Amino acid sequence: MTSNPRARRMSRRFVGGQSLDEAMAAARTSNRLGKLVSLDYLGEHAGSVAEAQRARDAYLAIYERIAQEKIEANVSCKLTQLGLDLSVEFCEGLVCSLVERAAACGNFLRVDMEGSVYTQRTIELVKRVRARSPAIGAVIQAYLHRSEQDVRDLLAYGCRIRLCKGAYDEPHELAYHRKADVDASFVRLMNLLLESGVYHGVATHDPRMIAETIRFAAALRIPKDRFEFQMLYGIREDLQRALVRDGYRLRTYIPFGQDWFPYLVRRVAERPANLAFFLRHFVR
Ligand SMILES: Cc1cc2nc3c(=O)[nH]c(=O)nc-3n(C[C@H](O)[C@H](O)[C@H](O)COP(=O)(O)OP(=O)(O)OC[C@H]3O[C@@H](n4cnc5c(N)ncnc54)[C@H](O)[C@@H]3O)c2cc1C
């Protein structure tokens, strides 16, 4: 799929491009539209030390370009891309070098959350690094039963959190599956985050979750610049525009790079209508 030119072109529906130049162009356009950006260099499950180090170098280059071009953007990464499958200590070393660079540029590193086999290691690693620097933040998935405890733990470190529903296929013992349960958990966790006084990200395209967030923030008189909404590149652009127009902070998550296939599969799994989009264009 990734080497097929037609498939590559279609991936542009959700991916900011194959190269850093293309991603920077997408980020500039987003900034012009009043959106903040998070750049994600696509990749997961590095199979060797050299592969993980190459990912680290790619992220260092992203911080460099953001600073040079004065783009309003931070960076999101996955720990398995930085060698979590190889060794926690090795991975933590790479994360620390990224967080140091982020702090030196007045920037920030968001550690995405992957499948539940990585949750504990990810939370522990983020807490250790957060104890040394505020330039790192975590992601919490509302579908996991454990998330409320994780939020409380991370808040004890003053850690910035992105709240999302969760994108992986998890077993019933660990995660809610009914939409109503996931949504109820999302609202509970969003309340905890907004009450904490720390600057967090509410990452959803669900108009009901967005309305609940706006209502709760207004009830607590939390100013619009004390939290942000986050959405994925190419999804619900109408909602993104509406939030910017209404004066909310909105960050678009722009993934880029050649390893876009697993990311695309998650977007299709969330919304099977996306598969029809791809098949239609492929056949055409
Ligand atoms: C900025 C950001 C970062 C994220 N980071 C992570 C992460 O680190 N770990 C993780 O597990 N998950 C992450 N996710 C994904 C998230 O967990 C959900 O899988 C995804 O956002 C869909 O959930 P939803 O809240 O939009 O609500 P849903 O109830 O799934 O969808 C609500 C509405 O949004 C629209 N929509 C949702 N998904 C799609 C799609 N794929 N294509 C087109 N329209 C769609 C539809 O209109 C749908 O009706 C992230 C999401 C965002 C926005």
Using 50 as the pLDDT threshold, list the residues of the chain that sit under it: none
What is the identity of the amino acid at 250?
L
CA 169 to chain centre: 17
Helix, strand, coil tally for the chain in percent (to 5): 55, 15, 30
- Encode 171-204: b = buried (16+ Cβ within 10 Å), e = exposed: eeeebbeeeeebbebbeebbebbbebebebbbbb
Q: How far apart are CA 254 and CA 8, in angstroms?
A: 16
214 C-alpha vs ligand 1 centroid, how far in Å?
Answer: 18
Task: Look at ligand 1, atom 24, and give the residue with the nearest C-alpha.
Answer: 204
Check pocket membership of 166 for ligand 1, CB cut-off 6 A: yes
pLDDT value at position 7?
75
Residue from 232, 240, 250, 266 to probe ligand 1 pocket by mutation (most atoms less than 8 Å from CB): 232
Q: Is 242 left (phi over 0), alpha (psi -120 to 50) or beta?
A: alpha
Place of tokens 């909105």: 250
What distance in Å separates the CA atoms of residue 82 and residue 85, rounded to the nearest whole number?
9
What confidence score (pLDDT) does residue 269 get? 81
What local confidence, expressed as pLDDT, does residue 281 receive? 66
The pTM of the whole model exceeds 0.85: yes
The pLDDT value recorded for residue 264 is 85
Q: What is the pLDDT of residue 6?
A: 75
pLDDT, residue 13, reads 82
Query: What is the distance in A from the centroid of ligand 1 to the CA of 234?
Result: 11
Catalytic residue among 40, 110, 112, 150: 112
Residue type, 11: S
Is 112 an annotated catalytic residue? yes
**What's the pLDDT at 107?**
98
**Structure tokens given for 142:** 């509302």
Instruction: Give, to the nearest 10 degrees, the angle between helix 119-130 and helix 88-104.
Output: 40
**Distance of alpha carbon 132 from its chain centroid, rounded?**
22
| Catalytic residue list contains 162 | yes
Q: Give the model's pLDDT for residue 275.
A: 77
The pLDDT, as a whole number, for residue 209 is 98
111 CB less than 6 Å from ligand 1? no
